[in-house]
Structure 1
Amino acid sequence: MNSKKRAWFVLGITIIINILCQEYFFTEQFINFNPGRHNILYSAPYFVIGGLLYLYRKEIHNWMNIIGGWMLLFCLVLNIGYFLLPISDLLGHSLFPLLIVFTAYHMYALGSDKKWLHNKIIDFLSGISMEIYLCHMVMFRVVERLHLENYISDSNLNYVVTSVLTICLAICFAYCVQRGLDKLLLKKIA
């Protein structure tokens, strides 16, 4: 995505592929499980919208400075609406409500100068964010192999425990890998 025009085109293609997969291929006719979150075709629009927002980061940052805290309020209203309002035909498809909420929060985070988004913890995590991104699905697969559903009967608690374990493992692994690569590269340079 080296241009904004190409990024918009790719976003459109990923949305079309996502909808086609959910409406046709992810049905009982082809599979007997819900592949949604386990499939790159499902997640592609979120990945591409992140890249698109990165291309517009300066404009978003300037815009967030103008509207300030109203964007956070807007994000919270969207989030509440996402959970309280049923997904209807008016919205077109189940992809769009979640994509809108995700995009709004991403825009707020990109453009915010708020202190609670700029502290030691966030700075540490942002320093290893690429490594976390690259390893998080592998860490999820490791946690998935633990079969926590056999030990935790409540699906909500299972989701929280799985998420926390995945995030913690990804952070630890990313930190160790980054630190190890830094030491290795420094030895080669010296």
Structure 2
Amino acid sequence: MSEASMTEDKRSMQQFAGVAGNRHYNDLDGFRAIAAIAIVVMHVHVRGEYVHTSTWLSTAVEPLGTFVTLFFIISGFGMCCGYYDRVKNGSMDIERFYSRRIAKILPFFALLVCIDVVAEGFSPNALWEAFADVTLMFNLLPDLNIQVIGVGWALGVIFLFYFLFPFFVFLMSTKRRAWGTFVASVVLSLSCVFHFFKTNGNIDDRRFIYQFMFFVAGGLLFLYRHRIESLNSVGRRLVLLVAVAVLPLLYVDVPAWASNVKQLVLWIPWMVFAIAKDHKVFSNPLTKFLSGISMEIYLSHLFIFQVIRICGLAYVSSDGTVSYVVALALTLAGGMAFALLAHRCIAVASRFIATSRRTGQPRGKHGVAEGDVR
């Protein structure tokens, strides 16, 4: 492999970690881990219907689903860290870019889809939905009511962002244009509230257009990252004060049109705090490990929880709080174990396929497979 290709591979691997130049934004590892765990905490409580838990616990857990939008902001920022400059100067390898995105997402997601289809007994509905899932383009469908890996809707939003990223860079190519794009993205989100994508009076928040403003917010943070990094200690303390002060908004009910705006107010101060400087509470070996499998935990946790229910471990006590805590711990542990095992199996399968392709290539006159020539 050439030195240029190796450099491209390294940058591709760094992209989702939030690396720009020589700066790795380590706090984003912690934020991804927290977001994934928060969503699991909420889903286990809701899907398990732990109605006998204490009131304070139910109140604390139910709004945590909003952490999915933090994923979107981080994705917008992280993609810009890895590819914004290369798209602008025309040095990005489009073939490698999309291949890397698909290789990162599809194998694990496809494995979960296959498991779900088998569990559904290969029903026609499940097969149609599974096919849509593995194309990764299902967010473009007019009807997004997909039950096969239902939580995968967020992955559909993120992949559509990958799909449109070169155009996204065009929209963010100057700060003036980026601010105009942000205003337009907010208006588009409001259009989903007041006109488009409403089913029985409810907003379909799984639509890319509805969530696009969060990716744009991540892009704006990237454009202003150097100014944020130059904040002195007083400025960073003020940002932390604001970030902590707005956290109670997580539990404040707002009208539908203000929901996304509320989430921007929640997450932007924390993103600024993370970009300004690394902090050990968010950047440490544990958060780095959890961040590395955060998407896998998110995608698989409902499947793991269903296995726990089948095994009779979801309700181990008459006390709802105890049952919930046990089920949550088992779901998190099971999600981590499943993610690591699946990654190991996928890696072995990938090496086997790569080896088979090399051995199956026609040999050159010196007995070397033609594809091995660098």
Partner of 1:47: 215
Partner of 1:105: 270
Cα gap change, 1:142 to 1:59, in 2 (>3 Å) = farther
The one-character-per-residue Cα deviations of 1:39-84 (angstroms, maximum 9, x if unpaired) are 2222211122112212322221222644233322211211224534
State how 1:135-174 maps to structure 2 within 5 Å.
138-139=299-300, 169=335, 173=339
Q: Is the 8 A contact 1:132 1:174 kept in 2?
A: no
Cα gap change, 1:19 to 1:87, in 2 (>3 Å) = same
Q: Is the 8 A contact 1:64 1:71 kept in 2?
A: no
For structure 1, the 5+ residue unaligned runs are none
For structure 2, the 5+ residue unaligned runs are 1-167, 359-371
The one-character-per-residue Cα deviations of 1:141-177 (angstroms, maximum 9, x if unpaired) are 867998x9xx89x9xx99xx89x95997489648954
- Count of residues in Structure 1 that have an aligned counterpart in Structure 2: 168
**Could you tell me how far apart the structure 2 residues matched to 1:42 and 1:36 are?**
8
- Determine which structure has the larger helix proportion and give its number: 1
Provide the secondary structure at the position in 1 that maps to 2:202: coil
Partner of 1:93: 258
Q: Is the 8 A contact 2:305 2:331 kept in 1?
A: no
**Could you tell me how far apart the structure 2 residues matched to 1:101 and 1:167 are?**
29
**Equivalent residue in structure 2 for 1:23, among 190, 194, 204:** 194
**Could you tell me how far apart the structure 2 residues matched to 1:65 and 1:168 are?**
41
Q: Is the 8 A contact 2:225 2:275 kept in 1?
A: yes
Give the TM-score of the pair, scaled to structure 2.
Answer: 0.35
**Could you tell me how far apart the structure 2 residues matched to 1:175 and 1:51 are?**
34
**Equivalent residue in structure 2 for 1:180, among 347, 356, 362:** 347
What is the aligned-residue RMSD (CA, Å)? 4.4
Give the TM-score of the pair, scaled to structure 1.
Answer: 0.61
**Could you tell me how far apart the structure 1 residues matched to 2:179 and 2:336 are?**
30
**Could you tell me how far apart the structure 2 residues matched to 1:33 and 1:169 are?**
35
Partner of 1:10: 181
Higher relative contact order (CA 8 A, sep 6+): 2
AA partner of residue 19 (structure 1)? L
State the percentage of identical aligned residues. Answer: 19
Shift of 1:97: 1.9
The one-character-per-residue Cα deviations of 1:18-42 (angstroms, maximum 9, x if unpaired) are 1011111244xxx226344422222
Q: Rg bigger for which structure?
A: 2
The one-character-per-residue Cα deviations of 1:81-122 (angstroms, maximum 9, x if unpaired) are 4534x537xxx7332222111211211122233221221122
Partner of 1:118: 283
